[in-house]
A and B are shown apart, each in its own frame.
Chain A
Amino acid sequence: MRREIPTFIAFFVGIVCIIQFFIPHRPFGTLVDVFSDWFGIVAAFAIWLGALNLIRVSLERSLSKKKTHDRWYGLVVVASFLLIFIVGLFLSGGNQFQVPGSRFDYLYVNIYTPLSSTMFALLAFFVASASYRAFRARSWEATLLLIAAFLVMLGRAPVGDQITGFMPEGYRMSEVANWIMTYPQVAGQRAIMIGIALGVASASLRLILGLERSYLGGE
């Protein structure tokens, strides 16, 4: 029964959701609303699961007998988590913790936001370095990719139009980049999306019918 009950639940919920798409009225519409509520509750618990696992892993790394040079960063993670948690839950007016001017909002705007933005911004440097090393015209396909990349990069920056300002309208760098993004790129994307959608439909059908049970875990 350990495998049969979850398989039946997946089947029942999947079939109801499919039917609800075509018959949105009672009882299918009501059932899907209830399932959506349950899904939201499970998703909320999943956030907690992720956070608690992060704390466990960080503490284990910091307090383990193996002395690595970066083990204390785990304690920084735990301390930061506890700071935000305590300030948000107890020191920011309860439900109003997100209101501008609260202590939680102060930490969010003045610490979390600049730090997160900076971490992501570092990618610009690594992308530049990786592009220099990886973008080599080793084959015809790589050369085509390189040319398209040049055109789009120049076209997406105003300097491209400044360089090609003498060209007639429709042939300037931004227009060439737009053409690449609108026609060949969209054509390829549509093909990929249709392929993915067919794959998702097929995989979903296998899940609903119980043919695919990898989500139950193995023995």
Chain B
Amino acid sequence: MTEPKDGLFDRLMRIDRRVIFVFISVALIVPLFFNVSQRIQVSPEVQMLNDAMNKIPDGSLVLYSMDYDPPSAPELQPMAVAAFKVALAKKFKMVIIGLWPQGPQQANMAFETATHYEKFSGTKLTYGVDYVNLGFQSGNEAVIQKMGSDIPTTFPRDYAGTPVEQLPLMKGIKNLGNFDFMVNISAGYPGTREWVQFGADRFGLKMVSGSTAVQTTEMSPYVGKQLLGLMGGMRGAAEFEQLSGYPGRALKFMVGQSVAHVIVILFILIGNIAYFATRKKKGA
């Protein structure tokens, strides 16, 4: 007895994944060759973040905690760059730390990108006076808890090994209460949730956060009270770049994300149409 031939819908149920890979590749790569920009609708959380950062007076002391590594950098680095550009425009005094080992170096890369932006290329910044990078400290939320009472003991040296007593910016900084604001860029644990639990809730730290798209759903409940704003994924980064007036890579990559999302949806629709068609055939 011969097997019935596979119909169109049977074959659509079993599309080789390499076909999907090719479509996604084209969707992501082709837009990179075109200088297309799209105006995007800003979400309330990013609007809140932008408003909160604009309200901070110029010259304020701001803590930047970079809690991510290179795998999350495509999503989070544009956020960090945009946050540093706003800091440069408002002349914040910046203290940079990392709860992830790679965080301080990611911060250096983002800071360098921001300082090379044409608007800030003439800005003269002095390390130790305008900004410091205290590096990484192990201990996860215990570090935040300790910073609540004593920062110089928690970070006795900066990332280059200089004792903090020798850094003019660190004079007078005793604990988290000395900071006017905090920006946290986070890819997981430890990150935003720990800063909310130990920094914002316990020590009243005013903070905003940028997190990966996957993590945004977990951070959304904190927006409004513990978090004064939230950037979620590359879309959040693009919205912040648009709002702050410093367009960057996130806005550029939105076109690719648009096309990729449409392709994923189309494949899901094809799969479901084929599923219902074959189910009907089997039922008949």
Interface set of A (CB-CB < 8 Å, partner B): 21, 24, 29, 32-33, 35-37, 39-40, 43-44, 47, 94-96, 98-100, 105, 108-109, 112-117, 119-121, 124-125, 127-129, 131-133, 135-137, 146, 149-150, 153-154, 156-159, 161-162, 172, 174-175, 178, 181-182, 185-186, 189-190, 193
Contact = CB atoms under 8 A, between A and B. Distances in A.
Contacts of A156: 213, 233, 235, 257, 261
Interface in B211-264: 213, 216-218, 220-221, 233, 235, 254-255, 257-264
Contact of A47 (B25, B112, B138, B255): B138
Contact of A135 (B145, B160, B268): B268
A53 B148 CA distance: 34
Interface of B: 15, 17, 20-21, 23-25, 28, 38-41, 43-44, 69-74, 101-102, 104-105, 108-109, 112, 135, 137-140, 142-143, 145-146, 149-150, 153, 157, 159-161, 202, 213, 216-218, 220-221, 233, 235, 254-255, 257-265, 267-268, 270-272, 275-276
B67 to A, nearest CB: 15
Given A153-B265, A158-B38, A40 B20 contact: no
Given A115-B70, A124-B24, A132-B271, 7 more contacts: A100-B108, A116-B69, A132-B17, A132-B270, A156-B213, A156-B261, A175-B41
Given A108-B105, A159-B261, A43 B139 contact: yes
B80 to A, nearest CB: 13
A100 B218 CA distance: 34
Contacts of B270: 132
Main secondary structure of the interface of B (DSSP, over half): helix
A193 B217 CA distance: 11
A190 to B, nearest CB: 5
A116 B70 contact: yes
Main secondary structure of the interface of A (DSSP, over half): helix
A35 B139 CA distance: 11
B10 to A, nearest CB: 15
A159 B40 CA distance: 9
A182 to B, nearest CB: 7
